[in-house]
Amino acid sequence: MADLNLDDKKLMDFINLMVTRGLGLYGQELMAKICYESGIALTDQNEIDWLEDNHIQAVNKLLVNYGSRNLPAKMTAIVLARQNQIPVPEELLTKRSSKKRRSIFKRFRRK
Amino acid sequence: MENNKAIQVNDGIYWVGFGDPKAGFSNNPYLLIEGDSVVLFDPGSRLPEHFNIVKQKIESVIPIEKINYIVVHHQDPDLAASIPLFEDIIGVDNFEIISTLRTSLLLPYYGFRTEITTIEDGDILQLDNGRELMFITSPYLHFAGAHVSYDMKTKTLFSSDIFAAFSVDWHLYANENYIEAMRIFHEPYIAHKSAIESFANKIKDFEIKMICPQHGSIIKEEFIPKCVEALLNFEVGSWLI
Ligand SMILES: [Fe+2]
Ligand SMILES: [Fe+2]
């Protein structure tokens, strides 16, 4: 994520969007916990603040913590990130959890 | 046409479906065999009278246990309900079910236990002998998480419900009446033109020599431009009146 032009305002706006959607999905308490685990404070008034200096990393963690709990959350995290030009963490794009799977993939890059 | 034998339609590609004049639409699972890689696309219905035909046709070319991949282009029962029956034969986790994330939310409700391998737009599955199978998402055609598959060797598009048709007078290969048979399938089924335009734009740079839809007939190369043009001009969303 490091070399992208993601200023603090854009990151804050994005977190606010994730939180707004997340309040619907997770409720206040769990949403606050997910934020805290990601290095972001969420107050009872649903205001956010940084708990970690590396803000890009915090957003990355938020996407992972938010998106790893269930499929609807994963789809929401991926689509919100893509709509807002925020890189989707690889952890959310793994094809399966089991090591038993053997399929190998390449990626086609569109022009 | 023999009702218990697969029909080879391209290099390593077999039609293992059945015409269904009673339902008014054929059901077309396809099998792709390349070395030890065996892919079954949209396996079909779980009704015994349907499943047994598909099973027998697959067995006419290869034992069911050899299937390594079942590609499910969306979650509808006409194409996905038989997954647990195939799982009973192949064994849990002895094969991979391939679909998109959105579709993978719904598929487990059919009652199988094999883990789903989720694909993204542009993922290319590596098969034996360097053969490659590309997955292209086709959002809202007709399901948000729908996708299609493209065999890069034969340039065959497995299009699922796109380019599908209703037909009582069914033929394995599309004839001059096919556009109208496609029309009655698509116009009430697809909500909005933009989904078709977005998909057409995605595939425009691919050379396509054959289209294998999940209902209706296989479209040969010379007829593809006409079918694409028709698809782009269908008056979709016709139930919105
Ligand atoms: Fe369908
Ligand atoms: Fe279908």
Chain A positions in Cβ-Cβ contact with residue B101 (cut-off 8 Å): 71, 74-75, 78
Phi, psi of B60 (to 5 degrees): -70, -15
Q: Is residue B238 part of a domain?
A: no
Residue numbers of chain B with a pLDDT score lower than 50: none
**Interface contact flag, A107 B101, Cβ < 8 Å:** no
Q: How much is the pLDDT for B2? A: 63
Q: How much is the pLDDT for A99? A: 73
The one-letter amino acid at B142: H
Q: Is residue B239 part of a domain?
A: no
Q: How much is the pLDDT for A101? A: 78
Q: Is residue B241 part of a domain?
A: no
CA–CA separation, A39 and A56 (whole Å): 11
Q: What is the CATH number of the domain that holds B39?
A: 3.60.15.10
**Cα angle for residues B5, B79, B59 (degrees, 5° grid):** 25
Instruction: Identify whether the C-beta of residue B219 lies closer than 8 Å to the C-beta of residue B227.
Output: yes
Q: Is residue B133 part of a domain?
A: yes
Instruction: Identify whether the C-beta of residue B26 lies closer than 8 Å to the C-beta of residue B216.
Output: yes
Q: How much is the pLDDT for A111? A: 61
Pick A98's closest partner by Cβ from B115, B123, B205.
B115
ipTM above 0.90, yes or no: no
Q: Is residue B2 part of a domain?
A: no
- Asked if A101 reaches chain B (Cβ–Cβ under 8 Å), the answer is yes
Q: Is residue B180 part of a domain?
A: yes
For residue B218 the two structure tokens come to 């296989």
Instruction: Identify whether the C-beta of residue B214 lies closer than 8 Å to the C-beta of residue B40.
Output: no
Coil, helix or strand for B10? strand
For B47-61, the pLDDT digits (tens) are 999 999 999 999 999
Chain A positions in Cβ-Cβ contact with residue B93 (cut-off 8 Å): 98, 100
Q: How far is CA B31 from CA A3, A30, B44, B149, in A?
A: 45, 46, 12, 12
Q: How much is the pLDDT for A3? A: 45
Coil, helix or strand for A73? helix
Domain count, chain B: 1
For A10-34, the pLDDT digits (tens) are 999 999 999 999 999 999 999 999 9
Predicted TM-score (pTM) of this structure = 0.93
Q: Is residue B163 part of a domain?
A: yes
Q: How many beta-carbon contacts under 8 Å exist across A and B?
A: 55
Q: Find the domain containing B229 and state its range.
A: 7-233
Which residue bears the tokens 């218990």? B4
